[in-house]
Amino acid sequence: MIAYVTVGADDIARAKRFYAAILPPLGYDLTEGPEGLSFALPVAPGHAPTFPDFYVKPTFDGRPASAGNGAMTAFQAGGQQQVRDLHAAALAAGGTDEGQPGFRASYGPQFYVGYLRDPQGNKIALFSSNPDEPGRDG
């Protein structure tokens, strides 16, 4: 099980605008501190945490943050409309488009996805595989 994902950011305020546009609508709570941003799904009393957490932090070595070549973090949305809404919100919050929301021929018929880059250049996917919605072939 993946417990957390961390991406680096040189400008935490810019990163906050971007991630605050997409993660709270997906159920994540934000905690801010001098070490950066921590997004976690709420934990009901008496229950174990739901993973993964997502952290946005300055680099530990003090050098500029960089996006990993081939690295991507994907967040599951509740449906195709939410993918479209969050993709638009992320663009308005300083992200850049890496692929408009839609179906991709190389994925299953229910996999609806939009791709973005955060202000630091990290690649983010927002997707839905909701079987109750129309698929690519129907």
Q: What is the pLDDT of residues 68-91, one digit of tens each?
A: 888 999 999 999 999 999 999 999
Q: How many CB atoms are closer than 10 A to CB 6?
A: 15
CB 37 within 8 Å of CB 12: yes
Burial label for 42, CB within 10 Å (0-12, 13-18, 19+), is: exposed
Strand partners, 59: none
The CATH fold of domain 4-58+72-128: 2,3-Dihydroxybiphenyl 1,2-Dioxygenase; domain 1 (3.10.180)
Task: Tell me: pLDDT of 138 over 70.
Answer: no
pLDDT > 70 in the chain, percent: 99
Q: From CA 101, how far away is CA 120, in angstroms rounded?
A: 21
pLDDT at residue 19 in the model: 98
pLDDT at residue 53 in the model: 96
Strands 96-103 vs 112-117: parallel, antiparallel or unpaired: antiparallel
